[in-house]
Amino acid sequence: MANLVPSPSDLPDPSPAVDSTLHSTIDAATLDVICALVDTVLPGIRVSTSEAETDGHANQDIETRESLVISRAEFDALYADARKNRSQFPSKAEFAEFLAEKPADNGDVVNSVCRTIEGSGPKQAKEMFFIAWLLSSRIGSFIFTGSFTPFQRQSLASRQRVFKSWNASYFSMKRQLSKAFLMLAQRPYLQYSTLYAKTIGFTPVPPHYVKTTSYPFEFVQFDSSRPDVLHTDIVIVGSGPGGGVCAKVLSEAGYDVTVVDKGFYYPSQNFPMSQAQGEHHLFENQGAVMSTSSKVTCIAGSCWGGGGTINWSVSLRTQDYVRREWAEGDKLPFYSSKDYDACMDTVWEAIGATTDYDKGPRGPILLEGAHKLGYKAEYLALNTGHDKTHYCGRCHLGCGSNSKQGPMTNPIIGTNLHIHPVGLVIGRFDKEIIPWEGPIMSSIMTSLENQDGSGHGIKVEPSCSLPFTAFIGLPWYPGTAHRMNLAKLPTLAPSPTI
């Protein structure tokens, strides 16, 4: 598609600033450890200024450095590798500046790390801050690193060796710690670093953006100084596609329906937000909700419209074998009835699910590969209401095109929650894919979805991926490898497996 640039008057309206308030008291030593962990995950990489820094004896002295040091020849090789298959790429000086950047020098990155820890829940936050404090002590450092030198005082090379050992540790706590800090360090860096955005050619506003006006919702404003009482027939908790369809059907049947949602409302004129603003305003705990064991991380939305505001548009009908399991195994015959077919048809029509849209670069790639392997694959239906130009690639930062047809504390909520694990596979191509542009998802491979005859398996869906979502689950590598993987995002195609 043509690379259109929106005029300044046609940009999204400003969104509220990110609330950077920290409610925990973090001592200096603990903060130093957090900064050291962040820079261990994404170290600065400096080009040597003399032969002495990179001769055969220099590596022994790397223990005293706070940045990785590479030779001019190594830098030239990295630059050539990073710019391969790119139509546009920064100059060598700009690329060197990107490599040298240390995330912990950015106050927004460090603040975001601390806020995410703080928002993970009282128990998890207390444990994470306590471990960071332990690492700042001689005894605690010995327990976790094998060295009596406090973690923040260890050399970068030593810290990277420790972090790599945590990845493969026999002890689950160390594995979880490495996984947690990889996510904590990487996500805000990819959101806030302007040098990284310039390196990959990412712009906050999609090139095909056109401002639209959303439906003028009216909300009841309550007086916070006293309780208010509302009389209604039905209360629906959650304003997403499920709650929205239920509210429509019940209100048309004559019931007085009240929809409540913990999230805030933002009109489409504010969308898409920046990565940092979108994660803060539209997701629960900046999109990182951890289980009490820290073994599971969920990306949970929290905004008016729910998944209809920030979901990936995909509309999948319930498979026959799943309906059969519910009907026969769970004794719920409704799911095998024609009435359920009618319900799905009603939802399909209400949300505007269609396959009539521009498929973008990633959808055809999956179909081509699947067909070569003899696998079944097809284009996905998206709830874009026949908008063939829905191409922005920013759906999880709020739908600015207004094309998607989306619409408390209680012991009942969450009692039947089941979490389906999601993996991520990333394909690398010898051409630009630009994974943050195009339809959010447009194809699916289903040949592996029923491995045991009972519906257990995976689907593969190449997704539109913003920088802060593209590398979730990507293994960490020491040295220059991890940062180089980040720099190659324009030629990558991340595909969730669900």
**Exposed/middle/buried for 293, CB within 10 Å: 0-12, 13-18, 19+?**
exposed
What mean pLDDT is predicted for residues 232-241? 90
- pLDDT, residue 208, reads 76
Name the token pair of 141: 């450092």
- Which residues have C-beta within 8 Å of that of residue 207, sequence separation ≥ 6? 3, 4, 5, 6, 437
Q: Are 66 and 41 in contact (CB under 8 A)?
A: no
**CA separation for the pair 299, 421 (Å, rounded):** 12
- pLDDT, residue 34, reads 96
**290-317, pLDDT tens digit by residue?**
777 767 777 788 888 887 788 767 888 9
- pLDDT, residue 1, reads 37
Confidence band, pLDDT 50/70/90 cuts, at residue 437 = confident
**65-111, pLDDT tens digit by residue?**
489 999 999 999 999 999 999 999 999 999 999 999 999 999 999 99
Name the token pair of 146: 């094998």
What mean pLDDT is predicted for residues 466-489? 89
Q: Could you tell me which residue, 184 or 222, shows the higher pLDDT?
A: 184
Q: Is 404's pLDDT higher than 50?
A: yes
Q: Is 44's pLDDT higher than 60?
A: yes
Place of tokens 């046609």: 10
- Secondary structure E strands in 35-93: 45-47, 68-70
- pLDDT, residue 488, reads 95
Give the range with max mean pLDDT: 146-160, 287-301, 361-375: 146-160
What mean pLDDT is predicted for residues 139-159? 96
Give the range with max mean pLDDT: 198-212, 231-245, 479-493: 479-493
Report which residue type is found at 216: P
Hey, what long-range contacts does 448-453 have (CB within 8 A, 24 or more apart)?
448/375, 449/319, 450/321
What mean pLDDT is predicted for residues 346-364? 82
Can you list the alpha helix ranges (DSSP code H) found in 42-71?
Answer: 51-54
**Exposed/middle/buried for 410, CB within 10 Å: 0-12, 13-18, 19+?**
exposed
Q: Is 195's pLDDT higher than 70?
A: yes
Q: Are 444 and 461 in contact (CB under 8 A)?
A: yes
Pairing of strands 234-237, 257-260: parallel
- pLDDT, residue 433, reads 92
Confidence band, pLDDT 50/70/90 cuts, at residue 214 = confident
* Lowest-confidence segment of 178-182, 337-341, 386-390 by average pLDDT: 386-390
- pLDDT, residue 352, reads 78
- Which residues have C-beta within 8 Å of that of residue 1, sequence separation ≥ 6? 208, 358, 391
Q: Is 405's pLDDT higher than 90?
A: no
Name the token pair of 425: 């596979």
Q: Is 54's pLDDT higher than 60?
A: no
Confidence band, pLDDT 50/70/90 cuts, at residue 486 = very high
**373-388, pLDDT tens digit by residue?**
999 999 988 877 656 6
From the list 491, 485, 497, the residue with the least C-alpha distance to 186 is 485
Q: From the centroid of its chain, how far is CA 295?
A: 17
Q: Is 20's pLDDT higher than 90?
A: no
- pLDDT, residue 170, reads 92
Confidence band, pLDDT 50/70/90 cuts, at residue 56 = very low
- pLDDT, residue 5, reads 47
- pLDDT, residue 388, reads 61
Place of tokens 């208010």: 228
Cis before 122? omega within 30:
no
Confidence band, pLDDT 50/70/90 cuts, at residue 155 = very high
Q: Could you tell me which residue, 391 or 19, shows the higher pLDDT?
A: 19
- pLDDT, residue 224, reads 79
Q: Are 467 and 445 in contact (CB under 8 A)?
A: no
Half-sphere exposure of residue 48: CA atoms within 13 angstroms, side-chain side: 16
**Average pLDDT value over all residues in the chain:** 85
